[in-house]
Amino acid sequence: MVDNNMKQIAAEHAVKYVQDGMKIGLGTGSTAYFAIMKIGELVQSGLRIQAVATSKASERLAIEQGIPLSPIEQVRRLDMTIDGADELDGQLRLIKGGGGALLREKITAFHSERLVIVADESKSVSRLGAFPLPVEIIPFAYEWTVEALIELGCSVRIRRAEGGGSYFTDNGNLIADCQFELMDEPEEIAARLSRIPGVVEHGLFVGMADQAIIGCHDGTVRMVQARERSGKIVFDS
């Protein structure tokens, strides 16, 4: 079974949670694509929702599929966001931003009652860090920002666009792809990144995901669920 089939299995399973009248965040990337396509099918069959897209690419796809989009200023809170991840561990800590939409994805996730992550099983890891961590930085004095990133112990590459030149996000910023060694303490790295002037946002999503739905080679899905117990977050897999 190819990766796209695993992605589709996970995404379509997540869409089963979408109910009539919900306000839904639409993620960005190759797995979120399948969720948007399935939601579009349900909308054509009569499902009534409001949606917010996390990128211009997802917005275009939603419009093509007839999914009604709401302006951000008209939506106070989302019921659920369905999004992908470049890596996730057993504690639902994520690396996101391979598609360049990490800032909008994090804003949308923060304002959602529930963040459901969909991925194929190759994205499930014991420790984060094999995938380069995307960090969105402003173009002004970006060389200084890159120097500060390197001081954290990573190598840094400014992302390039397919046609040549620097890649710019939907927000007009650059992406610095930071290659760390495998991360033992992603929370500490996240905190240190947030203290660097010039860093707009980073792709470490820690303590944000409520559930992961992972598509497996055998056609099944594996669930990882975060839930509160006595004031602590524990994880079921």
Residues 3-51: tens digit of each pLDDT: 789 999 999 999 999 999 999 999 999 999 999 999 999 999 999 999 9
**Host domain of residue 115:** 3-121+206-218
Distance CA 208, CA 196 (A): 21
Residue linked to tokens 């639409």: 26
Tell me if 227 is assigned to some domain: no
Which residue, among 90, 66, 177, 169, has the nearest Cα to 130 in the 3D structure?
Answer: 177
Tell me if 168 is assigned to some domain: yes
Residue 233 near residue 226, CB atoms below 8 Å:
yes
Check which CATH number belongs to the domain holding 187 and give it: 3.30.70.260
Count structural domains, the chain: 2
pLDDT tens-digit profile of 160-204?
999 889 999 999 999 999 999 889 899 999 999 999 999 999 999
Check which CATH number belongs to the domain holding 19 and give it: 3.40.50.1360
Tell me if 230 is assigned to some domain: no
pLDDT value of residue 230: 38
- For the chain, give the longest Cα–Cα distance: 53
Tell me if 171 is assigned to some domain: yes
pLDDT tens-digit profile of 50-109?
999 999 999 999 999 999 999 988 999 999 999 999 999 999 999 999 999 999 999 999
Percent of the chain predicted with pLDDT > 90: 89
pLDDT value of residue 234: 43
Per residue, the 3-state secondary structure of 67-89, as one string, reads: CCECCHHHCCCECEEEECCCEEC
pLDDT tens-digit profile of 114-154?
999 999 999 999 999 999 999 999 999 999 999 999 999 99
Is there a single domain that holds both residue 92 and residue 151? no
pLDDT value of residue 3: 75
Tell me if 126 is assigned to some domain: no
| 113 flagged as catalytic | no
Tell me if 143 is assigned to some domain: yes
> Which of the following is catalytic: 12, 59, 87, 105?
105
Task: Report the half-sphere exposure of 24 (CA within 13 A, side-chain side).
Answer: 31
Tell me if 153 is assigned to some domain: yes
Which residue, among 103, 20, 88, has the nearest Cα to 56 in the 3D structure?
Answer: 103
pLDDT value of residue 231: 40
Tell me if 13 is assigned to some domain: yes
Residue linked to tokens 């203290």: 195
What are 178's two structure tokens? 């930071």
